Chain A
């Protein structure tokens, strides 16, 4: 039935177009209820994932091969889609053509759930897998009180430091999150370190990706630490462009003279900078380049209400139109077991997103290379409920997230390139608010 209808859709649309009917072809393919069915628990399931680092791809391919070996009645078919087009591809694929299992970037869960592209997860995934997921993982995958996604790993964000260079320049550094640099101390450290280095630079922030998701993930904690936020109670004006947010972004812009453009991605490894504002994914590279004992993980600066940091990463859900929900659930059960999670996080240095694997991960436990960031991940909260004790903040779960991140990241990049922070943030806040009001606040 369905396939016959889609086959003739082009012809049908050609016909309606002459009468200039409204949007008929755009929305006819989707409805708001999930049509997922459990199926027989056998057969072929399709899986989409983004093509990440070579090590991540290898770990995922190995997990799929392991699944196929241990589940002879199911065949899992993996597709790796290049990361820069991944979200576009999923967004533009009608739900009937989405795979049984799909990976997605954490903050896109809200939009995909809102647009009925995902099946509620609990009907297909084992209760033990759900209960073993970290609190943050559940928060990130939950939209409108329904769990839609679970991740293999979380993320950790902070400052990497080259201990020898800091010591040589006589720069004192924080050893706990409570003790994080103030903006003034941070700026001073940047200046001293830049002066001590023949490169004249001291910081890497991956500046060429500021207007991408990296910008929102990496630098919304700056305004959140200052007491602002991306959005609060469905409104950006007043929080995104609060006086505290503007002040924090002004400070951010003042770092530019000390920032290495780092187009080659080697600034920290080559000793051109002593500090790198980055995430767990650099740990394997950095620790190898400058030695694990020389690599420090520092908290991000405290802009007023305590040091805050980002969290959340790629996560896994089940397509709303799957005919093999049971098999898809079995695959996720397998993928999210400790062995596969650990193999993956060993490849990319990410913090595991299951309780047992996280507890067993030496890197994030006391004494480990990223112990301080691991500590931070014990204190998480969603962006909608930031408390003074929480450190790691998940990005807002809302179908309006694409607008939020696009406007914030654009403003961030503009501010870094010299735009007035107040104007840029106010315009971004107004644009976000307009979009939310156009869409009735993205209420279900």
Chain B
């Protein structure tokens, strides 16, 4: 028996259900490994909090809880939109307009998050000398405070990169659904996977926020 009929040789699956199961599992494993990237940072931050509690508290007090809370609210809202969009994509009569609008809205909120984070928060911190580099010297002497702040910068910076990637993915998905490059319901899993990525970005922030901003 010749299999030349499948010249790409790309599909090892005999049926669509198994293929979908495999794709979903692959996506979850990818998300798990993404989460482990942040796990390393979480553990480091936890260590600082245990070993230098005073430094951690003092450093955390310098973070702007108001901005942090606002950004948390923004991401939560965006996740809600993504959930609505994914559900609409999977619905029996998918509404592509709703999917596109929800995803585009979530991407927009992602950009808002980035604007606040880098444009306002990082800028203030830089001027206060809290961020290493060309600005004024680091203002707190308590041991551990500077390390806490540097880890804050590393964790939120890496997270911001993920937000940017996620927003691009959502925007791309919104466009693809709107223009019909991704067909519904056939491509609903792809749409769902884009949404899952965003949820991961959101969940990571939900952990980062208390660990960094709410130390006392």
A and B from one assembly? Answer: no
Interface residues, chain B, with chain A CB atoms under 8 Å away: none
Interface residues, chain A, with chain B CB atoms under 8 Å away: none
